Structure 1
Amino acid sequence: MTAFLLPGIDLAAFAVGIADRLRRSGVAVTLDGAATLTRALRLQPPRTRSQLYWAARLTLVDRRENLEKFDAVFSAVFDHGMVPMDPHARRAGLHDGGHDRQSTKSSTIGRRRSDAGGDVPWVTRTVTGTLGDRSSEDSSRPGDRIPSALAGVADQRFSDLDPIRLAEIASWIEHAAVTWPTRVGRRREPHHNGHLDLRASIAASRHTGYEPVRLVHTRPARRRRRLVLFCDVSRSMRAYSDIYLHLMRAVVRTGDAEVFAFSTTATRLTPTLRNRSVEQTIDAVNEHVETRFGGTRIAGSLSSVLHSHRGHSLRGAIVVIASDGWDSDDPDDLARVMTQIRRRAHRVVWLNPRAGLRDFAPATGSMAAALPHCDVLLPADTLAALRDALDVVLC
């Protein structure tokens, strides 16, 4: 899942601008149309352009003959519209195009070009478009904000940071909150908007002379979805494996998760990572993983877990594989194992720290063999990329 489409945007000004543009195009927008669109965007923040389209169409258009005009206005605004996400856009005004605006990765729309005109008043709040000042509505990431001491290195690769910075990042990850993904369970729980539960309603009527005075409504209960994480600790991943293990320790201590470290063989680290002491945990990991910083056998390691009694933990789980894809096993073996994992897992996410490089292409034999069986391939070489990857993993 991607980040929210309109982070830091004044939703009220956005809705009024869209409604005004539609009225000037001949669409009869109701008086409360802008207010309704604002409430809809706050209740269900759009993550894609399609979601934004339907939110605006359902709240601003109530006649069939206006659909063509609405589509034309929406295309005119968002086909060439760019959203200013920096504080300079707020200070300089809507029509000031004399200064270069910094690009942002927070929005898939981007920013409005200077020649796009002043059709829609894109007004930003006082929050910036940087990673450290995300809106508090984005609760699917660990922690509300990145500390100011780390905001300056959020876009630097872990391999370029000194040990002090890496220790600060690891400490922040350890204490970060994690919003856990859920799934629909088999049991039901009381809820005022659920379906009528006849058995529970009859049981409750015993206290009122068997008169159904109080009706009981229930809905399916939601349970935490299991996460299964595989961390490559071979020599080629030496610059990133420590950060990944700190992240996996935070996940293990938060909810239902299984963690395996692999190099030439796979080692289960779930009980080890639950230790309260970070130093003792790292020492125990170094002791348990005997093949750390050695060669890499991705296919063999995943296959050993899959065919062990721990293989059932992948069923219905979110599987995360953190590796650069360099493997000494046959790519056909990895493709065969990934096919089995994909059949069992709810979602498969591959974190590759080399995917953040400009000239990266999944052309190596193992990476090319595994990619068709993954739902998404994400870079995780910086703190910013790691937070974006968690949006997908923990959605």
Structure 2
Amino acid sequence: MSPALLRGIDRAAFAVAFTARLRRAGVPAGLTDVDAFVRALDVSPPRSMSTLYWTARISLVRRHADLAAFDRVFAAVFADAPPLPPPNRSVAPAGDRDDVHVPVPADAADDGPGGGLPWATLPPAVAHSPESDTALRLPERRPSALAGLAERPFDELDATQVTMLGDALRAAVVAWPTRRTRRHAVSPTGRRIALRATINRARRTGWEPVEIVRERAVRRPRRVVLLCDVSESMRAQATAYLHLMRAFAVVAEAEVYAFATTLTRLTVVLRHRSAAEAVAQASAAVTDRYGGTRIATNLRALLTSQRADAVRGAVLVIGSDGWDSDPPEELAAVMARLRRRAYRIVWLNPRAGAPGFAPRTAGMAAALPYCDRLLPAGTFQDLLVAARQLQSVTCTDGLKWPMLTPAPRIIA
């Protein structure tokens, strides 16, 4: 282990001299900063030039605009400076006799050798040099594993990365907004007088309503129904959409379905405690995945099923690219029925985020006039944004989403 640079040296005197040099260069370092610098040197004695640089910079620099002046002074003080001879044996402690340190020359100019370091404005990463410990090594800033995958398409991710993104989706859907029901419950914060409860209390006081009982409307979570396309054209997004459906199935108790040529209910399967096991069971349950697409037929099957009432007053989320083998007239008819039943209809299209996107497919052009929102869902970041919008906007009482402008029905 290399000896500390400033062992056996008066750290307070060194800090005061270095801070005075910074003040002359325009860096506003005060007494508090000097005290912090001395304490930092005492807690963590610098054993390399890089450690000393960062200790001084963190303690003495408070503004980004002062970084250039600080680097210039630091380089002028320490660049090409010969080490001092060992300190006097009669003054220095016995354990510090063979220590070396870098001096602060009294006649060193701030604009001397080493001024204008290349990392003054935009610090690049300096490779680690095991041979020399005098070069300043700046840390390389790298994004986290999750942030690095946010903008990558789903077809470029492996199974482990998709699972990690699924966990992030599960954490993003923290709570689901509620809706006001027609039922009322007794509450001291309510604005409405509970007539029956007030009369019952009045029986104890000679039918005089001495105590007024109040009630408020009972709120329930807004129902959510998710339908995701798992056909061949959605192969890259199928697994990621299953993780999205699981997040809403666990948090919002949503009804979730997967469809290609037939409709498959996955609500119970995707509520499994393990995300990997839930996605595996859901993939095994969908027997027609990576096949054709019949959007109109599957939406009609939902409306005629035993759970058709789940759509009434719910937020209906459809994840598909709009490729449909059914006639567009049938899709438009069933979307009109869904529009009358559902509270909101949100369509997630993995290709909607592409530059110059236009609903040129027959299915997407037919369904778009009946959707409240068309959101891109081609990357993990798109799914996070869509999940936040569904939580914060679609289920707020009194807030009406404007209908999208009807798009021309272009047959692709």
Distance 2:231 2:148 in 1: 29
Q: Partner of 1:316: helix, strand, or coil?
A: coil
How far the C-alpha of 1:278 sits from its partner, in A, is 2.6
- 1:236 matched to which residue of 2? 233
**In structure 2, which of residues 371, 374, 377 is the aligned counterpart of residue 374 of structure 1?**
371
**Counterpart code for 2:209:** P
Contact 2:181 2:220 in 1 (8 A): yes
Residue in structure 2 matched with residue 78 of structure 1 by the alignment: none
User: What residue in structure 2 maps to residue 299 of structure 1?
Assistant: 296
One-letter amino acid of the structure 1 residue matched with residue 340 of structure 2: R
Tell me, yes or no, if structure 1 residue 275 matches structure 2 residue 272. Answer: yes
Within a 5 Å distance, the mapping from 1:1-395 to structure 2 comes to: 148-189=144-185, 190-208=187-205, 210-395=207-392
Deviations 1:186-220 (A, max 9, x none): 11121424122222222223445544332112121
1: CA distance, partners of 2:195 / 2:144: 55
- The change in CA–CA distance for 1:300 and 1:183 in structure 2 (over 3 A counts) is same
Distance 1:208 1:249 in 2: 54
Structure 1 Cα separation of the partners of residues 173 and 318 of structure 2? 21
CA shift, 1:169, in A, is 0.6
- Secondary structure of the residue aligned to 1:165 is helix
CA–CA separation in structure 2 for the residues paired with 1:267 and 1:184: 31
Cα-to-partner distance string for 1:228-285 (whole Å, 9 max, x where unaligned): 1001011111111111111211211223311110001111111111222333322321
Please tell me whether the aligned partners of residues 172 and 384 of structure 2 are also in contact (alpha carbons under 8 angstroms): no
Displacement after TM superposition at 1:160 (Å) = 3.1
- When residues 177 and 389 of structure 1 are mapped into structure 2, their CA distance, relative to the original with a 3 A threshold, is closer
Please tell me the residue identity of whatever aligns with 2:326: D
Q: Which amino acid aligns with 2:175?
A: T
**231 and 393 in structure 1: CA distance in 2 versus 1, 3 angstrom threshold:** same
The whole-number CA distance in structure 2 between the counterparts of 1:202 and 1:253 is 42
* 2:175–2:252 contact (8 Å) kept in structure 1: no
CA distance in 2, matches of 1:192, 1:202: 19
> How big is the shift at 1:366?
0.7
What residue is the counterpart of 2:24 in the other structure?
Answer: none
Give identity over the alignment, percent.
Answer: 51
Greater CA drift, 281-290 or 263-272: 281-290
Aligned match of 2:43? none
Residue 317 of structure 1: how far off its partner (Å): 0.6
Matched-pair contact (CA < 8 Å) for 2:224–2:317: yes
Give the TM-score, by structure 2 length.
Answer: 0.58
Describe the SS at the equivalent of 1:245: helix
Letter in 1 for 2:325: S
Letter in 1 for 2:228: C
Q: Which has the higher contact order (CA 8 A, sep 6+)?
A: 1
8 Å CA contact retained: 1:225, 1:256:
no
Q: Take 1:301 and 1:289, find their aligned partners in 2: how far apart are those partners?
A: 14
8 Å contact kept, 2:190–2:215 = yes
Relative distance call for 1:372 and 1:156 in structure 2 (3 A) is: same
Letter in 2 for 1:187: R
Unaligned 5+ runs, structure 1: 1-89, 93-146
Structure 2 letter corresponding to 1:173 = L
**Counterpart residue identity of residue 297, structure 1:** R
Judging changes above 3 Å, is the alpha-carbon distance between structure 1 residues 179 and 258 closer, same or farther for their aligned structure 2 residues? same
Deviation track 1:51-94 (CA, whole Å, cap 9, x = no partner) reads xxxxxxxxxxxxxxxxxxxxxxxxxxxxxxxxxxxxxxx967xx
Kindly indicate whether the alpha-carbon contact (under 8 Å) linking 2:173 and 2:248 is maintained by their aligned counterparts in 1. no
What SS does the aligned partner of 1:355 have? coil
Q: Secondary structure at the match of 1:371?
A: helix
Give the TM-score normalised by structure 1. 0.60
| Amino acid aligned to 2:166 | A
- The amino acid across from 1:200 in the alignment is A
- Say whether the 8 Å CA contact 1:154–1:384 is kept in structure 2: yes
